[in-house]
């Protein structure tokens, strides 16, 4: 559309207005809000639902998985994910269906119990703060807000968090107890941390003796290209740097098998694992080991997981291609967007001061987007420029319409602003 027009901004605005009027007439009802797998992706794991079936209910060591107990989770499942999450199986727990739940509980237990290396409970500190690389994951920020944990934004660079800033802040401020990290294919930017970032996070001096890295490796195996990007092993890096208890590793099969019925993992030092088990043992008499067994039978080994993830890629890569193609055609020169090599999201950066208006215009046209600001602590994106796009859930035809519609809204709002500002 815009390629037929000359560079005149007002002509572009007129074209955008026409396109937007046509968009309104379509009466769409489309949703790009959450990073959910589509039904076709969930279908890939339908065979799970019939398991353990004829196999029966015994684990490799003869344990009756139907019964209570086994708080660490099924050993054979932990062995599969040990390699993928870079945590020795003996230090990796397989738990319920949600890693967010484990992050939540880790925060709560840190508030109400004394962490290894801590002088007191976090609840007894005058002030607790977390560093929040931005843009980031809204549910991390909601969790902090729920428990009155102050959030300090730090910029996410192409190599991970701005490490000079992180090192400065954690060395000066003993109130800073943690940092949220999505180290591979981050939500929403698709950023992967460099080896140097991992090394510096592991080795930096922290004023708080009980500082923890919340290493949310939600997209550890979620590649969109042949590159299959790797991240350095943070747990070993922390141990080598003399900070063995610094990191909590989280992961899950939510976007491997079934988003609502997968298995979540927690990995850390022996001391931290013992600490968590001490608390979680008060809360549960053991996880759902039948679901663990199902996952072992279905996935078989780490290569089985990789093979399964290639099937996801076949379904979702074309969707990410649609986003790149449509934005490339319509928004070149007006906005920028990430080109992730994995994960579930694309970040769209619109001109400053436009994100909220774009989301509002899209809503009027029946396209639901994640609220502007969600990618920042306190829902406050100071530049009002970041929009998170989640392309996996709609089918291809719906997605094409939705992304085209979003691009129209960006052109409308963007060119209007440029016209206003002369
Ligand atoms: N962490 C990140 C970065 C995510 O994007 C998501 C899902 N949107 C989760 C955690 C949620 O994981 P789970 O389903 O294991 O709770």
In a domain, 366, yes or no: yes
The single residue listed with the structure tokens 């790009």 is 32
Last residue of a domain, one of 300, 315, 346: 300
Cis before 33? omega within 30: no
What is the domain-level CATH number for residue 188? 3.40.640.10
Q: Whose CA is nearest to atom 7 of ligand 1?
A: 35
Please work out whether the CB of residue 98 comes within 6 Å of at least one atom of ligand 1: yes
Confidence band of 422 (pLDDT split at 50, 70, 90): low
Structurally, the chain folds into a number of domains equal to 2
Q: Same domain for 287 and 322?
A: no
Please work out whether the CB of residue 182 comes within 6 Å of at least one atom of ligand 1: yes
Q: Same domain for 286 and 180?
A: yes
In a domain, 163, yes or no: yes
In a domain, 124, yes or no: yes
What's the pLDDT tens digit per position in 290-327? 999 999 999 999 999 999 999 999 999 999 999 999 99
Rounded mean pLDDT of the chain? 96
How many whole angstroms separate alpha carbon 163 and alpha carbon 10?
A: 42
- Per the structure, the complete domain to which residue 235 belongs is given by 46-300
DSSP, collapsed to helix, strand or coil, labels residue 391 as coil
Judged by average pLDDT, the poorest of 12-16, 31-35, 53-57, 188-192 is 31-35
Q: Tell me the backbone φ, ψ of residue 286, rounded to 5 degrees.
A: 135, 150
Nearest to 306 by CA among 272, 256, 260, 358: 256
What's the pLDDT tens digit per position in 32-87? 988 999 999 999 999 999 999 999 999 999 999 999 999 999 999 999 999 999 99
Q: Same domain for 152 and 277?
A: yes
Q: Same domain for 290 and 176?
A: yes
Q: Tell me the backbone φ, ψ of residue 364, rounded to 5 degrees.
A: -55, -30
- Please tell me the distance between residue 137's alpha carbon and the centre of ligand 1 in angstroms: 9
Q: Same domain for 350 and 245?
A: no
Q: Same domain for 213 and 280?
A: yes
Q: Given this model, what pLDDT does residue 34 score?
A: 81
In a domain, 69, yes or no: yes
How many whole angstroms separate alpha carbon 395 and alpha carbon 40?
A: 9
Q: Given this model, what pLDDT does residue 2 score?
A: 47
In a domain, 144, yes or no: yes
Please work out whether the CB of residue 218 comes within 6 Å of at least one atom of ligand 1: yes
Q: Same domain for 23 and 79?
A: no
What is the domain-level CATH number for residue 406? 3.90.1150.10
**How much is the pTM?**
0.97
The single residue listed with the structure tokens 């997968």 is 262
Q: Same domain for 127 and 14?
A: no
Last residue of a domain, one of 277, 300, 323: 300
How many whole angstroms separate alpha carbon 182 and alpha carbon 219?
A: 8
In a domain, 8, yes or no: yes
Q: Given this model, what pLDDT does residue 403 score?
A: 98
Mutation probe of ligand 1 site: the residue of 132, 183, 252 with most atoms within 8 A of C-beta: 252
Please work out whether the CB of residue 91 comes within 6 Å of at least one atom of ligand 1: no
DSSP characters over 128-148: -EEEEEES--HHHHHHHHHTT
Q: Given this model, what pLDDT does residue 285 score?
A: 97
Q: Given this model, what pLDDT does residue 421 score?
A: 81
**What number does the ligand 1 atom closest to the CA of 186 have?**
3
Q: Same domain for 124 and 234?
A: yes
What's the pLDDT tens digit per position in 373-417? 999 999 999 999 999 999 999 999 999 999 999 999 999 999 999
DSSP, collapsed to helix, strand or coil, labels residue 313 as helix
Please work out whether the CB of residue 35 comes within 6 Å of at least one atom of ligand 1: yes
DSSP, collapsed to helix, strand or coil, labels residue 375 as coil
Q: What is the mean pLDDT of residues 119-124?
A: 97
Is residue 5 over pLDDT 50? no
Q: Same domain for 69 and 159?
A: yes
Last residue of a domain, one of 300, 322, 353: 300
How many whole angstroms separate alpha carbon 182 and alpha carbon 139?
A: 12
In a domain, 70, yes or no: yes
Both structure tokens of 256: 């491997």
Please work out whether the CB of residue 2 comes within 6 Å of at least one atom of ligand 1: no
Confidence band of 160 (pLDDT split at 50, 70, 90): very high
In a domain, 37, yes or no: no
- Please tell me the distance between residue 218's alpha carbon and the centre of ligand 1 in angstroms: 6
**What number does the ligand 1 atom closest to the CA of 251 have?**
15
**What number does the ligand 1 atom closest to the CA of 34 have?**
8
């Amino acid at each position: 559309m815009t390629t037929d027009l000359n560079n005149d901004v007002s002509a572009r605005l007129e074209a955008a207005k026409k396109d937007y009027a046509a968009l309104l007439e379509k009466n769409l009802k489309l949703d790009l809000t959450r990073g959910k797998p589509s039904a076709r992706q969930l279908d890939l794991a339908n065979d799970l639902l019939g398991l353990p079936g004829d196999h029966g209910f015994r684990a490799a060591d003869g344990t009756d998985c139907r019964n209570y107990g086994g708080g660490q989770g099924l050993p054979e499942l932990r062995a599969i994910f040990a390699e993928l999450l870079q945590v020795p199986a003996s230090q990796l727990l397989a738990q319920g269906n949600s890693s967010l739940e484990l992050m939540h509980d880790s925060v709560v237990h840190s508030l109400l119990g004394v962490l290894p290396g801590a002088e007191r409970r976090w609840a007894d500190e005058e002030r607790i703060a977390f560093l929040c690389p931005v843009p980031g994951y809204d549910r991390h920020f909601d969790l902090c807000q729920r428990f009155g944990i102050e959030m300090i934004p730090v910029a996410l660079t192409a190599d991970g968090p701005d490490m000079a800033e992180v090192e400065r802040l954690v060395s000066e401020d003993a109130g800073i107890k943690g940092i949220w990290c999505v180290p591979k294919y981050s939500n929403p930017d698709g950023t992967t941390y460099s080896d140097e970032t991992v090394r510096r996070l592991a080795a930096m001096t922290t004023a708080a003796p009980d500082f923890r890295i919340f290493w949310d490796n939600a997209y550890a195996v979620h590649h969109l290209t042949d590159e299959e990007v790797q991240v350095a092993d943070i747990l070993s890096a922390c141990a080598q740097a003399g900070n063995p208890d610094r990191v909590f590793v989280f992961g899950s099969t939510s976007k491997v098998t079934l988003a609502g019925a997968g298995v979540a993992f927690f990995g850390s030092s022996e001391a931290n694992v013992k600490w968590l088990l001490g608390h979680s043992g008060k809360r549960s008499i053991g996880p759902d080991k039948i679901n663990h067994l199902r996952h072992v039978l279905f996935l078989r080994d780490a290569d089985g997981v990789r093979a399964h993830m290639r099937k996801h890629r076949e379904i979702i890569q074309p969707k990410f291609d649609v986003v790149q193609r449509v934005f490339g055609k319509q928004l070149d020169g007006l906005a920028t967007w990430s080109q992730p090599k994995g994960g579930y999201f694309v970040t769209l950066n619109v001109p400053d001061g436009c994100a909220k208006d774009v989301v509002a215009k899209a809503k009027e046209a029946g396209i639901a987007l994640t609220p502007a600001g969600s990618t920042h602590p306190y829902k406050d994106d100071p530049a009002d420029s970041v929009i998170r796009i989640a392309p996996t859930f709609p089918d291809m035809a719906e997605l094409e319409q939705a992304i085209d519609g979003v691009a129209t809204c960006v052109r409308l709002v963007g060119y209007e602003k440029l016209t206003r500002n002369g």
